[in-house]
Chains A and B, each alone.
Chain A
Amino acid sequence: MRDRTLQYVLLIPAFLIVLATTLYPLGFSLATAFLDWDLRKSPRPGEFVGLDNFGHAVTESGFQNSLWVTTIFVVISVVLTVVLAMALALLLRRTGGLHTFTRIILILPFAMSPALIGVSYRFMFNPEFGVLAKGAAAIFPALEGTPWLANPDLAMGILIATDVWHWTPYMTFMCLGGLASVPRETEEAARMDGASTLRIIWEIVLPQMKGVIAVAAVLKTIFALKMFDQVVTLTGGGPGSSTETLAFFIHKVGFKWFDMGYASALAWILTIIMMAISIWYVRLIITDKKMATA
């Protein structure tokens, strides 16, 4: 088969799987965003209301709050996760008993269901019997009586920490996979020339890892923007509304307020934000120049 045909043939199975299944639901939700669909009044979408649902979002303080919460959450958790994962991968690609052990246990946090993570951490930070709350106070007496999840900033910090704890190990795997497919000759050569380890990492390894890091970052960004399960089970969006992420807010609008039209509009606003971010990432990754590795 000629490459010109082959290149599209290779795409067909994956595209069939994805597009055939998602087109209808996506179209449905996009249409809903322009309709009045108050579930309290009708189980079916109602009349066309133009951009009303979107206009609503602009003035809604709850939406603005969740946008702010999400921004903070995404920026901190993505940066922390990716940096830590890359650092850990560089540490773990070396050999040694402890290295292998760490590599094996690393899959565990990611294997845990997000809902269970939220519940577990909530109990572990319980002021009366939580092992982390009590443990922290035992090591640092000044922390005794810290209102962990009752303080807006601390609650946000804990939410981010649990998310980083959940994702970093997996991202480390990705980086390890990336490191493994990168040839080591250049590195060895540089080492022979007496370059320091830090310099080798910074000037040789990291540039080669650019693609994998970007993939990790975009993946993490998408999941962070859609952060939901842990918010429900860890903080319930509180205290006040200090940890209400966008996905949490959208769920609230859809299933508590029962305003599906508005919920869909909000979801599409989130989608547009993601598109903007992703376009930037795609530009970064798919360059028409050859990759730096060659």
Chain B
Amino acid sequence: MFKRTLVAFAATLMASSALAWEATPGKPHDGKTVRVLAVKSSQFEAHEARHEAFEEATGIDVVVDYVPFPNMKEALTAEMIGGGDYDVVSIMDQWVMSLANLVQPIDEQIAAQGTDLSDFPGAHMRHGMIDGKLVGLPVRGHVQLLFYRNDLLEEAGVEPPQTWEDVVTASKMIKEKTGKAGIALPYGKLNGQNLMVWVNLLWGNGGELFDADGQPAFASEAGAAATKQYIDMLLEHEIAPAGSAVFVEQDAVNSFKQGNSAMLPLWWWVRSQLTDPEQSTVKPEQLSFTSLPSVGDAGKTTFTNTWIFGVTQGSSDVDAATEYLGWLTDPALERDVLLDEELSEVVAVHFSNLRDAEVNARWGGMHQSAADALATAPGIEFGDDWPRVAEIMETAISSLASEEETDVMAALQKAADEIASIR
């Protein structure tokens, strides 16, 4: 225990730029219990393993219940309707607006905790706000990277692609020279996963999901071009693995891990599993990454994914709950987990850690590239109907990929009409 405190203390000293969290003096919440509902994730379990330090400093007892990811929304919904079983909840960015009745504003309390909000990238931080009020803080956040097999690219004599056009040419060379699929992409239907690369193509083509009035704007020339570009990689150029019309994210990852594909555009956190000898045939020295390709000379983009932690409306003690949030979002805690040799947690949501020299040394500079992408990434405005909107769009992409639909513009227009009718 003493040793751990000491390590945490040392880590605090090293994380120079950000303000460190300190327990409210006098243990005002001594003896209270904070009940947390969190999605099952090794990162959060790493936090839980460090609760002792928090409990010692504040006298607050923390109890965490975990729910598997596919059922997290149901669990949060039950808490919103029933209320009062939990003080702190983890919510994915896409659900925040529709679960507005679950959480409450905590601007003042978080200010009292001394949390430095400017240390969070804007693309993550925006999901903790509803109508200008702070309702939660980012704890887990992802950006996309392009992972690639440097050995296969070398064998094919191609450079890591910087644009999507390069991806197609490079993939054709790879297929010719190595027989492998060029790039593993998800086209199937699951939680909007097939939109996450597609959106980048949309932006790169100069398109937008929604216009200023919140009406769908993707059924445009840019939208059609982007969609065609995405679908063509499967149907026209055949550079995606055969059968990827039903691939969800995990299938694309498996294809890459089994050595069947040479490139994989995905969240940065998959990195540690891509070279895990238990799961993957890919050796660490074969794996490289670069930022996500752009469309032509358009700027680089990335989709983001964020989990925020907020305080419930039914919480019996908001102050104790926010005290916990203060500790949980302390950059020093994040850094401690990032550098823990026994773990392989790569997730960071503080600029101070993303740019930290030691963190970057351990993870091969991945965090610096994430920081660069996050510095300009706007993030997406997820309305309270996003789950429904995403479902309509992913269905359109899925139908095009499986050739159930063949007219790109018609499919997009149909999706746009459907979305317009519910907005």
A–B contact, 8 Å CB criterion (strictly below):
yes
| Binary interface encoding of chain A residues 11-48 relative to chain B, with 1 for a CB under 8 A from any of its CBs, else 0 | 00000000000000000000000000001111110000
- Are B246 and A149 in contact, with the CB atoms below 8 A? yes
Partner of B404, one of A43, A236, A239: A239
Q: Give A152 to B403 CA distance when docked, in angstroms.
A: 9
Interface size class of A (residues with CB under 8 A): 20 to 34
Q: Which of A56-107 contact B (CB under 8 A)?
A: none
**Contact status B243-A237, CB under 8 Å:** no
B402–A256 touching, CB < 8 Å: no
Question: Which of B38-46, B145-153, B393-401 lies at the interface with chain A?
Answer: B393-401
Expressed in whole angstroms, the Cα–Cα distance for A256 and B94 within the complex equals 11
The reply to whether A239 and B388 contact each other, CB–CB distance below 8 Å, is: no
Contacts of B188 in A (CB 8 A): 150, 236, 238-239
Note all chain B residues with C-beta closer than 8 A to A257. Answer: 385, 387-388
A181-223, CB < 8 A from B: none
Nearest A residue to B244 by beta-carbon distance? A127
Please determine whether B242 and A237 come into contact, CB atoms closer than 8 angstroms: no
Question: 1/0 per position for A133-172, CB-CB distance to B under 8 A?
Answer: 1000000000001011111100000000000000000000
What is the bound-complex CA distance between A236 and B100, given in angstroms?
27
Q: Contact: A128 with B405, CB < 8 Å?
A: no
Q: Are B189 and A129 in contact (CB under 8 A)?
A: no
Given A236-B188, A240-B404, decide whether A129 and B254 contact each other with a Cβ distance below 8 A: yes
List of A residues within 8 angstroms of B391 by Cβ: 252, 256
Q: Which of A133, A150, A256 contacts B401 (CB 8 A)?
A: A150
Q: Among B102, B245, B251, which residue has its beta carbon within 8 angstroms of that of A147?
A: B245
How would residues 222 to 245 of chain A score, 1 for a CB under 8 Å from any chain B CB and 0 otherwise?
Answer: 000000000010001111111000
Given contacts A40-B384, A40-B385, A126-B251, contact A238 B98 (CB under 8 A): no
- The answer on a CB contact under 8 Å between B246 and A43 is no
- B395 adjacent to A241 (CB under 8 Å): yes
B97 and A238 contact, CB distance less than 8 A? no
| A257-B421 Cα distance, complex, nearest whole Å | 14
Residue from A39, A236, A239 within 8 A of B399 (CB atoms) = A239
Residue total for B at the interface (Cβ-Cβ under 8 A): 39
Stretch of B25-33, B77-85, B207-215 lying at the A interface = B77-85
Alpha-carbon gap, A53 to B388, bound state (A): 17
In the assembled complex, which residues on chain A have CB atoms less than 8 Å from the CB atom of B255?
128
B156 within 8 A of A: no
- Chain B residues near A133: list those with CB within 8 A: 243
How long is the Cα–Cα vector from A23 to B391 in the complex, in angstroms?
A: 34
A40 to B243, CA, bound (A): 37
Q: Which residues of B contact A126 (CB under 8 A)?
A: 243, 251, 254
- Contact between A236 and B402, CB atoms less than 8 A apart: no
B189 touches A239 (CB 8 A): yes
Known contacts A150-B245, A239-B404; A42 and B101 CB within 8 A of each other? yes
Residue of chain A at shortest CB distance from B190:
A236
**Most chain-B Cβ atoms within 10 A of its Cβ — which of A150, A242, A256?**
A150
The residue of chain B having its C-beta at the shortest distance from the C-beta of A251 within the complex is: B74
Give CA–CA (A255, B395) in the complex, Å: 17
Docked-complex contact A242 and B189, CB < 8 angstroms: no
A residues within 8 A CB of B101?
39-43
Tell me the minimal C-beta distance from A56 to chain B in angstroms.
11
A88 to B87: give the CA distance in the assembly, Å: 55
Would A43 and B80 count as touching, CB distance under 8 A?
Answer: yes
Identify the A interface with B (CB < 8 A): 39-44, 126-129, 133, 145, 147-152, 232, 236-242, 252, 255-258
List residues of B whose CB falls within 8 A of some A CB.
70, 73-74, 77, 80-81, 83, 97-98, 100-102, 188-190, 241-246, 248, 251, 254-255, 258, 260, 384-385, 387-388, 391, 395, 398-399, 401-402, 404-405
List the 5 shortest-distance A-B pairs measured between CB atoms, nearest first.
A127-B243, A150-B245, A240-B399, A239-B402, A238-B189
Known pairs A40-B385, A236-B189. 4 more at Cβ < 8 A? A145-B242, A239-B246, A239-B398, A239-B402
